[in-house]
Structure 1
Amino acid sequence: MNGKLVVRIAELEIDPAQLEPYQALLAEEIEASVALEPGVLSLNAVSIKDSPNSIRILEVYANRTAYEAHLLTPHFLKYKNATAGMVTSLTLLDVDPIAMRAKP
């Protein structure tokens, strides 16, 4: 399984009173992950229109090893610890890619 992409969708609900600090921490974590981890192929965060505290993150990792390594990085652990009281709900969905393309 090490050679197969790991693709996940994270569905998060954020305490509306803490949305701005949460978004800042998320942006910092995504920036560091993509810049510092070769196995993090992409991280894309969006909010549901008219429900800004409903966040969705599409995560793409080179393989299971890259995903597991990501969970142990200092920047991810900082994000996880700092946002623990901000996240009111978290659902992680493993998904199978059908068609994924991006321009460089």
Structure 2
Amino acid sequence: MSQPTFAIAVTFRIKPEHVDAFQTRVLEQARDSVDREPGCHQFDVLVAESDPATFALYETYTDAAAFADHKLTPHFLDFDATVSDWVESKDVRRLMLLGS
């Protein structure tokens, strides 16, 4: 398997009434991405220690094309549609991995 060269860092602020549902659904999304996508190497879900409504995702992919493929998968499209009304804010950063 090739090494990842591309990463995504996403910060979500979730509406308080949807925090538990978001947590369940984002963990499912993480498992689906790693299990079903050969180009997805890592998908970590984190929650802010001081704010249970703030989640961070750290995802690594073989390259930017693998991430583009990720956004077209049925599990991503379902996740995005399911959680869109639960989100107060979302910040996405595209990152390149340095070294290996």
TM over 0.5: yes
Tell me which protein shows more helix as a share of its residues.
2
Flag structure 2 segments of 5+ consecutive residues without an equivalent: none
SS of 1:12 mapped into structure 2? strand
- Runs of 4+ aligned residues of structure 1 deviating over 6 Å after TM superposition are none
Question: What is the CA distance between 1:47 and its match in structure 2?
Answer: 0.7
RMSD: 1.8
- 1:4–1:32: structure 2 CA closer, same or farther, 3 Å change rule? closer
Flag structure 1 segments of 5+ consecutive residues without an equivalent: none
2:38 counterpart of 1:38: yes
State percent identity of aligned pairs: 22
Question: What is the CA distance between 1:95 and its match in structure 2?
Answer: 2.6
Q: Is the 8 A contact 1:4 1:64 kept in 2?
A: no
TM-score between both structures, scaled by the size of structure 2: 0.90
Q: How big is each residue's C-alpha offset from its partner over 1:2-54, in whole Å with a ceiling of 9 and x where there is no partner?
A: x9711121011001110011111101111111001000010101011020111
Rounded to whole Å, the distance in 1 between the matches of 2:16 and 2:26 is 15
Match in the other structure for 2:54: 54
